[in-house]
Amino acid sequence: MSANMHIFENASALAEALADDVGARLAAAIAARGTASLAVSGGSTPKAFFQSLSRREIDWPKVTVTLVDERFVPPENERSNHRLVADNLLKHRAAEARFVPLYYAAETVPAAAAIASQKTADLGAPLDVVVLGMGTDGHTASFFPGGSRLGEALDPATPRGVITMEAEGAGEPRLTFTFSSLQDAGYLVLHIEGSKKEVLAQAEAPGAEAEMPIRAMLRRAASPLQIYWAP
C-alpha cells in the first residue's frame, strides 16, 4: 500500500497538526457510528502529540483509547505505556475518554494477553485511528527483530488480538496487537522524528521484514501509511 509523507518544520508543529488530524478522524467516526477507537504507541516521541490531543474539543466520552503495545508491568511502573498515556493524554478534555489497558495482573503473560484480546475485542474492527512509533532497529509496536513470536505477529492470517512478545532489547515481556489488528485502521499513522528518517529510508529499501518489522506496515498495510516527520 502507499505511504503519504507529512513533513513539518519542527516537533511542536507536527504535534499540533497530528492532534488536529487525529481529532478530526475521531470526530468523524463518532458522527458516523456514535463511537471512536484510538490505539497509540508508547516511547518518548508521542508525548507532545498526546498533550496537544488531550485539549482537542471532541466528544471524548464516546472515544475508547487503548495501546498498540505494552510492557508486562503494572500502570504505576515508570516503564508502563498506560502510565505514559494517563500522564500525557488522558487529561484535560481527554480525561473523559474510556481507556482499555493491555496489561492485566494475571498469573502469566499469555493469560494477560488473552484477557487483553477479550477486553479490546469490543472496540470493533477496524480501529479508527492507530498511531505507530518506530525504534532505531525498525521495530514498531512490539514487533522486534528476533522477537519470540515475530512471524506469528506479522502473519496476516493471525487473528486480530493481543499476543505476547519477548525480544532482546525489549526489556520486559511485551503485550502487542497483531499486524492484522492494526494494518487496516481507518487512519494509520507512523510518527517519527529526527534521524529516524534515515532508519525509515533503510526500511524502505529491499530486505526482509523480519530484519526491520516496520516493513510489514510499509509493504502490506491495507490502509495508506500516513508518515508524520519533523527534524
Ligand X SMILES: O=C(O)[C@H](O)[C@@H](O)[C@H](O)[C@H](O)COP(=O)(O)O
Residues lying near ligand X in the complex (CB under 6 A): 41-45, 68-69, 81, 133-135, 139-141
- By C-beta, is 126 or 133 nearer to ligand X? 133
- By C-beta, is 58 or 227 nearer to ligand X? 227
Q: How far apart are CA 101 and CA 114, in angstroms?
A: 12
- By C-beta, is 35 or 54 nearer to ligand X? 54
Q: How far is the CB of 79 from ligand X (least distance, A)?
A: 9
Q: How far is the CB of 11 from ligand X (least distance, A)?
A: 11
Q: How far is the CB of 61 from ligand X (least distance, A)?
A: 26
SS3 readout for 26-76? HHHHHHHHCCEEEEECCCCCCHHHHHHHCCCCCCHHHEEEEECEEECCCCC
Q: How far is the CB of 171 from ligand X (least distance, A)?
A: 9
CA–CA distances in Å: residue 54 to residues 49, 57, 78, 94, 151: 9, 9, 20, 5, 35
SS3 77: coil
- By C-beta, is 60 or 103 nearer to ligand X? 103
Q: How far is the CB of 30 from ligand X (least distance, A)?
A: 25
Residue carrying the nine cell digits 513470536: 149
Residue in the shown chain whose Cβ atom is closest to ligand X: 133
User: Amino acid letter at 207?
Assistant: G
For the purposes of burial, counting CB atoms within 10 Å of the CB of 1, is it exposed (0-12), middle (13-18) or buried (19 or more)? middle
- By C-beta, is 30 or 40 nearer to ligand X? 40
CA torsion sign for 191, 8, 58, 32 is: negative
- By C-beta, is 35 or 45 nearer to ligand X? 45
Q: How far is the CB of 68 from ligand X (least distance, A)?
A: 6
